[in-house]
Chain A
Amino acid sequence: MPQRSVVEAPNPFREGIRTKESLEPCIMVIFGATGDLTHRKLLPALYNLALEHPLPAGFSVVAFARRPYDDETFRKQALESINEYSRQKPVNPQVWESFAAGIHYLQSDFHDPAGYEKLSSLLSKLDQERGTSGNRLFYLSTPPSQYPDIIQQLGAAGLNRNRKGWTRIIIEKPFGHDLPSARELNRQVGKVFKEEQIYRIDHYLGKETVQNILVFRLANGIFEPVWNRRYVDSVQITVAENLGIEGRASYYEESGAIRDMVQNHMLQLLTLVAMEPPIAFDADAVRDEKVKVLHALQHLSGRDVLTNTVRGQYGPGWVGGHEVPGYLQEPGVSPNSTTETYVAMKTFIDNWRWADVPFYLRTGKHLPKRVSEVAIQFKQAPLMLFKKSDAQGQVEPNVLTLRIQPDEGISLKFGAKVPGSDMQIRSVNMDFFYGSSFVREQPEAYERLLLDTMHGDSTLFTRRDEVEAAWAFIQGILDEWKNESRDTIATYESGTWGPQVADEFIWRDGRRWRRP
């Protein structure tokens, strides 16, 4: 058998290094580099990676944007952003200086072919100067309307493939506006990049606690046997925000809660909770199982949409001690807007594991607090020995709660006897807090996801069929809502847990919303 060449063989110095992984030097090209996402998230994440040194020497950033800056102006702004938003403060001057030497700015319109020619030359030059070996990572951090142009121009300039090294592209959400637009975007990207080059990012999947759902389920033998219709009564997924639209009316009017939250973050959480154990912990095996869940979701259409969903808009009220306006009074929002700021829905997964187990999803803006959690409520014991006549207090069902944010952790609620001669039963929570159990600082979601992209690991990114399957589920709801009158949108007072009809909606099933 022929031996591998030294270039192809694994780096022998990597073997047995405990804490770090191999990372090839690369150039990250950020389109829309003067925008909010770049300065609040991407640059601080990259600096943190440089500080904790998984980023190899030679790693470079090319900031591609329209504003007339030069390298020095952009570096200065980058430093200000890192100083403000990095979790590692103050900035280490020596590390910054070394990191900044690899930052370059390229001014161009996104549709101008000349800009891509300049980019191509700059990348070749940096390959030579910084040993980046032709490895490129393109990050689309622009408004989604610019994606097709940039992708097409990258293809036309031949930057989608490289004779040596790898080329990958990260696409920020929202990935499409509905099923047809998502399919169209997939088609356009697919014409230029192969699927294995495409990383559709949903930063929720970079959160430690979201990843821990898989570890919790699949690394512990005791939960899997009860993780099914036989023992689980229902599942509630809540993603609540206390903020309003924060001046983003033009985006939110087009999006609404179902596109902004349900289609991506909440369906991701649902798939991680409901999927079958994959045959391996690799990108395709995990995503295969997630896609199966999305395909098994009972699609809603016609009258079913009205009976299984609730949509609402926040009215005026008080949140966090401040008086806030209603959605229709927000600047930039149409007074007749039908955009929902709150969604509650019930869905079922039609497979053997979950048949007849309702999954309740709830998200909204201007709710009392910012919280994300998945709560699995178990069925009561089959024979209740401690009836009310014998026992004081109430025996509540067991609930396992996976808290995503804040207070990341896991809680298990169970009944315990209160010490004393009476048979008094009280529900107690056994809490595991990440913050107090692992006192170390958690990396930001973007740090993890950027590293994964550089490693070529797409496990935590959304695959083409996954995006389309999620949109296919949402599309039926969007179609029906479009045909309904404005009266079907309930108003809720800001600072409350949503409209009254949402409570009635779940009461009908003999259940109630959790108060997270």
Chain B
Amino acid sequence: MFIKKRKVVEMATDTSPDQGKRLPWAGKQVRPEHIEDELTFLWHLAADNMRISQNMNVRTSVLNLVICALDIASAYKASALLRDLPNTHIARVTLIILDTSEKSPSGVTTWVTLRSFPIISDIMRHHFEQVTVLLSGAAIQSATTIIQPLLKPDLPIYLWWVNDLPSNNSIFQRLINVSNRVIIDSSEFSLPEERIRTLSSLLQASPNCALSDFNWSRITPWREMVAQFFDVTEYRPYMVNIEKIEIEYSVPSTAHQSIGGKGASNPIRALLLAAWLKTRLGWQLSEENPQHRHESGVGTYFWHMTTRVPTSALVESLPSGNSLGEAGSETRGVIDIIIRPRVQAELPPGNICLIRLTSTLNGKQAVFTIDRGDDDEHVITSVEVPDNPSLQRVVNVAATHKETELLNDELEIMGRDHLYEETLHEVFDLLA
């Protein structure tokens, strides 16, 4: 997906007397009760600008975006990122900054601005409203009730939680309850395993809210490439007989392999992939051979699996002579899933570096591999099956690196991603 880059222009500069924190990028500071009046005034100004300069305003509104940040730097970064999001047609952005520092007095400070993107050229502009709300002290606990009147009616609410999940997740839980869709980025998690557990239980407590994770979108091309292997009908029998899955994710150096804490490795993408593969293949944790290992400290995981569905059940209707018939009679040993870190300093931590599926059919081994290329933008897929030359392909995965594109994709989705939710719970089970 391609988004044209635009520069963004803000209306309403903050010229008000200093009333504490100043956020010039957030527009004009106004009292909360004057937010709507100020926005109406800004729309009049925009219309007048249009008349004078013959610009055309485009106003197509499809959603409320609530952004929640735990500090001003994160809020600024998120706000800046919106400038590359002109095709989403946000009606209003409500940017909440939770100032959790203990010394801050209880209070609510608000700013408004009208932002515009030039579309096609400077002549045509798309506008959206941005309300920035800085909450401190006791007001933080009332974030949900404070933002409720600021939401545009009759439009869905997307909550983008930009930072790590807080230890006390009651605010997050309350915001989830008023949102139609919640977007997180699990690569921000400082304690990945713990946060996955939190998320899994929050999700169960809020069955009406759809949850999205940038990390899940980041691995979508990898899932697509795995699926493409087995679109080839000749390779399908190997899918049933996969006996080993290896997944590698990047860590900056051996010294940074520990999981948890700032700058540490985050294996969540690898965990999501492993859980997805497990569910898709109908595997379950082996009870006969329960030597699962989680070496969380170094980021290595190892599980023994068995098939949930007996292989023979899948092949009973095959015509005689089909090789899968023989596949069905093959004795299945223990199946392994292995996740391990790979030192790759040039990659951001947590990136997937390798997926390798090994399968044996009629005593011959086939290997399906997706491996990082020489750069961060390409991967090489390869298939090595018996009696066939190796087949390689280079695939561009650069689009998954851009946060704007990930956010844009999430804002286009209305329904729930049941597969993601199922996979998240599966990760929780694997880590249990």
Residues of A within 8 A of B (CB): 2-7, 9, 11-20, 22-25, 51, 53, 56-58, 92, 94-95, 97-98, 128-131, 133, 164, 432-433, 435-441
State which of B119, B235, B318, B417 has its C-beta within 8 Å of the C-beta of A131. Answer: B235
Which residues of B99-149 have CB atoms within 8 Å of chain A's CB atoms? 119-120, 124, 126
B116–chain A nearest beta-carbon distance, Å: 12
Q: List 11 A-B contacts (CB under 8 A).
A: A2-B317, A3-B317, A7-B236, A7-B322, A17-B227, A25-B231, A57-B392, A58-B393, A95-B394, A129-B391, A436-B124
How far, in whole Å, are A6 and B409 apart by their CA atoms in the complex? 33
Tell whether, in the assembled complex, residue B232 and residue A133 are in contact, meaning their CB atoms are under 8 Å apart. yes
Q: Measured between alpha carbons, how far is A129 from B392 in the docked complex, in Å?
A: 11
In the assembled complex, how far is the CB of residue B313 from the closest CB belonging to chain A, in whole angstroms? 6
Contact B232 A440 (CB under 8 A): no
A436 touching B119 by the CB < 8 A rule?
yes
B202 within 8 Å of A by Cβ? no
Instruction: Give the most central of A92, A436, A437, A440: most B CB within 10 Å.
Output: A436
Residues on B with C-beta less than 8 A from A51 are 396
* A3 to B393 CA separation, bound complex (whole angstroms): 34
Closest to A4 in B: B317
Q: In whole Å, how far is B223's beta carbon from the nearest beta carbon of chain A?
A: 6
Give the distance in Å from the alpha carbon of A244 to the alpha carbon of B89 in the complex. 40
The 0/1 profile, CB within 8 Å of A marked 1, for residues 293-326 of chain B is 0000000000000000000011111100010100
> Considering only CB atoms, which chain A residue lies closest to B227 in the complex?
A13
Task: Give A98 Cβ to nearest chain B Cβ, in Å.
Answer: 4
Count residues on chain B whose CB falls below 8 Å from chain A CBs. 61
| A interface, over-half SS | loop
Question: Would you call B223 and A13 a contact (CB within 8 A)?
Answer: yes
**A7, A12, A439, A441: which contacts B86 (Cβ < 8 A)?**
A439
Partner of B232, one of A19, A25, A53, A436: A25
Q: Within the complex, which residue of A11, A15, A131, A438 is in contact with B87, where a contact is CB–CB below 8 Å? A: A438
Contacting residues, chain A, for B252 (C-beta < 8 A): none
Apart from A57-B391, A94-B396: 17 A-B pairs, beta carbons within 8 A: A3-B313, A12-B239, A12-B280, A24-B231, A24-B232, A24-B233, A53-B396, A56-B232, A57-B229, A57-B381, A92-B396, A98-B393, A131-B234, A131-B388, A133-B232, A438-B87, A441-B2
Q: Is the CB of B220 within 8 A of A16?
A: no
Shortest CB distance B325–A (Å): 9
The main secondary structure of chain B at its interface with chain A is mixed
Residues of A near B347 (CB, < 8 A) are: none
* Docked-complex contact A17 and B120, CB < 8 angstroms: no
Beyond A3-B314, A129-B389, A131-B383, is A57–B236 a contact (Cβ under 8 Å)?
A: no
Contacts of A15 in B (CB 8 A): 280, 419
A128, B390: Cα distance in complex, Å: 11
Verify A95–B396 contact, CB threshold 8 A: yes
Taking the nearest CB of chain B, how far is it from the CB of A26, in angstroms?
A: 10
Task: Provide the residues of chain A in CB contact with B235, threshold 8 Å.
Answer: 131
Residues of A within 8 A of B227 (CB): 11, 13-14, 17, 20, 22
Closest to A436 in B: B119
| A7-B236, A57-B381, A129-B388 given; A12·B281 CB < 8 A | yes
What separation, in Å, do the CA atoms of A433 and B280 have in the docked complex? 41
Docked complex: B156-199 residues within 8 A CB-CB of A: none
Contacts of B389 in A (CB 8 A): 129
Instruction: Evaluate contact between A13 and B317: CB separation under 8 angstroms.
Output: no
C-alpha gap A130/B383 in the complex (Å)? 10
Task: Report the separation of the CA atoms of residues A16 and B239 in the bound assembly, to the nearest whole angstrom.
Answer: 18
**Is B224 at the interface (CB under 8 A from chain A)?**
yes
Q: A6-B240, A94-B373 are in contact. Are A20 and B89 (CB under 8 A)?
A: no
Alpha-carbon distance between A182 and B323 when the two chains are bound, in angstroms: 46
The verdict on B4 contacting chain A, using a C-beta distance below 8 Å, is yes
Q: Does B15 contact A (CB under 8 A)?
A: no
In contact, A58 and B124 (Cβ under 8 angstroms): no
Interface centre among A20, A53, A441 (most CB of B within 10 A): A53
Asked whether, in the complex, the Cβ of A437 is within 8 Å of the Cβ of B317, the reply is no
Using Cβ atoms and an 8 Å threshold, which residues of chain A touch B80? none
User: Closest approach, in angstroms, between the C-beta of A122 and any C-beta of chain B?
Assistant: 15
Contacts of B232 in A (CB 8 A): 24-25, 56, 58, 131, 133
Q: Are B119 and A439 in contact (CB under 8 A)?
A: yes
A436–B58 touching, CB < 8 Å: yes
A53 surroundings in chain B (CB, below 8 A)? 221, 224-225, 395-396
Q: Which residues of B contact A133 (CB under 8 A)?
A: 232-234
Which residues 383-405 in B have Cβ within 8 Å of A in the complex? 383, 388-389, 391-396
- Contact of A437 with B391 at beta-carbon distance under 8 Å, contacts A7-B233, A131-B235, A133-B234 already known: no
Question: Which among B228, B391, B396 has the highest number of chain A CB atoms within 10 Å?
Answer: B228
Q: How far is the CA of A455 from the CA of B322 in the complex (A)?
A: 25
Residues of B near A5 (CB, < 8 A) are: 314-315, 317-318, 322, 324
A residues near B58, Cβ cutoff 8 Å: 433, 436-437
Distance between Cα atoms of A441 and B126 in the complex (Å): 17
Query: A57-B228, A437-B60 are known contacts. Are A128 and B316 too (CB-CB below 8 A)?
Result: no
Bound: A259/B3 CA distance, A: 39
Q: Which of B212-245 contact A (CB under 8 A)?
A: 220-221, 223-237, 239-240
